[in-house]
Structure 1
Amino acid sequence: MAGSSHGHTPAAWTGVIIAFIGFCVAGAFMVMAQPAGFWAGMGIIVLGGVVGAVMRSMGMGQQQSSHPVPAGTES
């Protein structure tokens, strides 16, 4: 994984940061026993996935490998 630059893209970083903020929001509101805030945090988590996917489709994600996998080496 270290040789493939897995996750080292603007799309991955942005999606993970937004999702992390959502986890923090949801966790804080769960401790405060506020269901509406908890679900708002869960919505932010989903938003992080959507933003990451949109950015990937805009070309800010990891580029697909142009090297085909040789036959017989698939796991």
Structure 2
Amino acid sequence: MAPICYTCSTSVLQSDTIIESIHCKCFMIQAGGYVVGYENLTFVTVRGAGHLVPRYQPARGLAIFSSFLEGKLPPSS
């Protein structure tokens, strides 16, 4: 995975239109994380996982990865 240059990504984000605002995604009744969607980019955070989603939150990671493969946003519930 290539590192992202903060200043470059900031300029990309400022030029894109926000498609989906920040909102909570629930997973098994608990807040699982947050999603921000832009025209060509989606940021997904996973609560309680740090940098090791597959190790600390495997079910949530699988849900996000499956959504990515299907070309959809992560599930709301």
TM superposition score normalised by structure 2: 0.28
TM superposition score normalised by structure 1: 0.29
Higher relative contact order (CA 8 A, sep 6+): 1
Which structure features the higher share of strand residues? Answer: 2
Q: Is the radius of gyration larger for structure 1 or structure 2?
A: 1
